[in-house]
Structure 1
Amino acid sequence: MRVLGFMTGTSLDAVDMAVLETDGETIFAFGPAGERKLTEATRELMLAATKAAFDWPRGAPEPAVFADAARAGADEHFDAAEAFLAARDLSWGDFDLLGVHGQTVLHERPTDGRLGRTVQLIDAQRLADRTGVPVAFDFRSADVAAGGEGAPLAPIYHLARAKGSGLYAPLAVLNIGGVANVTFWSSDGAVAAFDTGPGNGMIDLLMQQRGAGRYDAGGRYASVGQAQEPVLRALLAHPYFQAPPPKSLDRYDFSLEPLAGLSLEDAAATLVAFTAEAVRLGFAAVGEVPREVVVAGGGRHNPEIMKALAARLPCAVRTAEDHGWRGDAVEAEAFAYLAARTARGLPISFPKTTGVPQPMAGGRIVQPRSGDRHV
């Protein structure tokens, strides 16, 4: 089937889109990929929903802003894809299915027998109605309800992508978004995955907190700073790093408070080191050194992060593009792939990737209602 996959990360930067032809097992062809930056209005609404989620007690009704943000998210996806398709002489009728992640505004991992919580906002029915195409969405909830972490979900796609590219184990695929997550393909054929720690998210928040822009473009500030080891050690003392995998994070699980006394440059350099050292600790937890790590996601555009990874990891560090992958599109491709698996009832999460008790199907599909297209 031909699937258009969408991803909006916790950086609240853009709607990423990618086309796959796949049955959820084999990748037959790659169609075009692209992105459109979020409008400021939608970004602000998602930030408001995120703030409301912080104060949302368990068992209480959803904050009212969730519905407004989900509707805006659906319209944002529709508008982004309309321009994307028009520029490539495609139409909605060319697709069998849409795979839409939605905007994460809350992710709490399970603790001490308490189930986690995860919220990805998207009005999937509205998007299906406007496009006339079925929409697969809500990929994480079933896993969380069964006691899993709900993340990461891309490992099954990482494995398919690696095999399709002729790569072989032991191998790691590292995605650096707001949070960094890694997929390990071990020499015995097993696949494990977990969030390693912060990706770009803390650096972005630091820049915004200090009035230096949305993010550290090109690693400009970090490149002239010095990582402060005492602060780095304090950050690494977080109990998350002692917890065994599989495990997952929210972008806001770590505080910027330990960096308060540092210059912007030193704080940025320390956070770059934090990202890389957290990955190194994750590698150590797995107990096998991969031949190489393939880096995808926005973090690979920060040369300071790439330098820190190369300095701290015990293996070769390569970008997705080194193997002909589209590093900015891997997650959008992954949700196209997961949508196809959802349509076929195939598992999308596994004991060693999310901690769920057994391999689980996930996601829901809504059908377009007749007469509602382009409302």
Structure 2
Amino acid sequence: MAYYIGVMSGTSMDGVDAILTDITDTSIAPIAAVSIPYPAELLELLHQLCTVSPNEINHLGQADRAVGRVFAEAVNKLLAEQHLSPADIRAIGSHGQTVRHYPDGPPGHQDDNGFTLQIGDPNTISSLTGIDVVADFRRKDIAYGGQGAPLVPAFHAARFAEAGEHRAIVNIGGFANITVLEGVDAGATRGFDTGPGNTLMDAWCLQHLNQPFDRDGNWAASGTVNQPLLNSLLADPYFSGTGPKSTGREYFNLVWLRHHLHDMGTSIAPEDVQATLLALTATTIANAIRALEQVKQCYVCGGGAFNGELMTQLGELLPDCTVKATDSLALHPQWVEGVAFAWLAWAYLHRVPGNVPNVTGASRAVVLGSLTLAD
């Protein structure tokens, strides 16, 4: 046995997942998981950091340590529940919390100095857990000319590829990304961010219902898709662009949505906007899969897999494709990304490249991450 722990918090910031995984050269076996929420004060600070604000450097430094503490708390809770000691864990793979993602540079400053920024101090995590930490996975890919995202396709190929099968693995978190697996040929793996996943729906729901998300898509299901608004959203050039491409809340946010709502020139009921936002997520994912004629299997992970209305619409938009959650492939949808970063820690220690140049646009495959020792 070789135990690794993947720690993950996505752009939705709905909590921190820590996944215990047994990883060898031939198997990836998730064992147990815990999830804990961010404290309310830290969550507010993280949301502030996602937009330009005063005292950013001070807030960044404070949040970096605070996120590290929460990640360590999740790891220690997992260890206690599984009756394990730090010595039982080979390494922690920490994704960190993304607060900025500008791989091509900020608006108006596109140049060779694009960046992505994930916080969650690995020194804090290692000191509070007593375990070596591999973190900072994305910046190496950017240094080699890539987008730094999505990074899960290499793991998807290692865990989900099967000879003779053409599959799409769709992760629907705050944003949605797709991995295309053509048999077991890792070199043929493709992928990109399709666009918004849950982020716009969650933000709209919080604004109008004071709830962090639309449970099972029930509010969206109560509304009616506004086709002119959907057409306006789909006309954004991001959706017609070819990969490699990645995106984030810096681009798709409520300001972006309000711009389109303003252009409509008429009031639209909030539930109809929510229905349209869900249709946007489903349509952009389905369009990406329909463009891949050989793909007949679609497996969904992330929080979107638990949105019944979203899964129903995906199935309707892809009548020639089987749409299921990844638990049908023996991996819980909520665990996939955490296991992916446990695997990326394993890949770092075994000098296995963690990026896929076809996906990110990097000039070559490279080992990702940086190691922080516990002592």
Decide whether the 8 Å contact of 1:157 with 1:337 is kept in 2.
yes
User: Which residues of 2 match residues 183-198 of structure 1 at below 5 A?
Assistant: 183-186=179-182, 189=185, 190-198=188-196
Q: Is the 8 A contact 2:153 2:356 kept in 1?
A: no
Aligned partner of 1:18 in structure 2 is: 19
Is there any run of 5+ residues in structure 1 with no aligned partner, and where? 370-375
Q: Structure 2 CA distance, aligned partners of 1:181 and 1:193?
A: 7
Tell me by how many angstroms 1:62 deviates: 6.7
* Corresponding residue number in structure 1 for 2:217: 219
Question: How many angstroms does 1:211 deviate by?
Answer: 4.0
What root-mean-square deviation, in Å, do the aligned CA atoms of Structure 1 and Structure 2 show? 2.0
Matched with 1:66 is 60
Residue 90 (structure 1) aligned with residue 84 (structure 2): yes
What letter corresponds to residue 50 of structure 1 in structure 2? C
Contact 2:302–2:333, Cα closer than 8 Å, also in 1: yes
User: Of residues 269, 283, 287 in structure 1, which corresponds to 2:289?
Assistant: 283
Q: Which residue of 2 aligns with 1:359?
A: 365
8 Å CA contact retained: 2:34, 2:74: no
Normalising by structure 2, we get a TM-score of 0.90
Alignment correspondent of 2:272:
266
Structure 2: how far apart are the matches of 1:8 and 1:210?
24
Answer whether contact 2:34 2:78 (CA < 8 A) is retained.
yes
Partner of 1:156: 154
Task: Calculate percent identity across the aligned residue pairs.
Answer: 34
CA distance in 2, matches of 1:197, 1:342: 29
Q: Say if 2:324 is the partner of 1:318.
A: yes
Establish whether residue 49 from structure 1 lines up as the match of residue 67 from structure 2. no
Residue aligning to 1:31: 31
Which runs of structure 2 are paired with 1:107-126 in the superposition (5 Å)? 107-110=101-104, 114-126=112-124
Provide the residue aligned with 2:304 in structure 1. Answer: 299
| Aligned-partner Cα distance in 1 for 2:43–2:226 | 33
* d(CA) in 1 for partners of 2:77, 2:240: 46
Give the whole-Å Cα distance in 2 for the aligned partners of 1:306 and 1:259.
26
* CA shift digits 1:279-336 (9 cap, x unpaired): 1222244x43312100000011111110111111241101112222111010000000
Alpha-carbon deviation of 1:89? 1.5
Equivalent pair of 1:174/1:183 in contact (CA under 8 Å): yes
- String of CA shifts for 1:65-90, please: whole Å, max 9, x gaps: 11110100011112222222212222
| Equivalent in 127, 130, 133 of residue 132 of structure 1 | 130
**Structure 2 CA distance, aligned partners of 1:253 and 1:291?**
31
Change (3 A) 1:289 1:55: farther
Equivalent position to 1:169, from 158, 162, 165: 165
Question: What amino acid sits opposite 2:223 in the alignment?
Answer: G
* Residues 98-133 of structure 1: per-residue CA shift (max 9 Å, x gap): 100000001113276534310000110111112111
Query: Where do 1:326-337 residues align within 5 Å?
Result: 326-337=332-343
Provide the residue aligned with 1:102 in structure 2: 96
Residue 147 of structure 2 aligns to a residue in which SS? Answer: coil
Q: State how many pairs are aligned.
A: 359
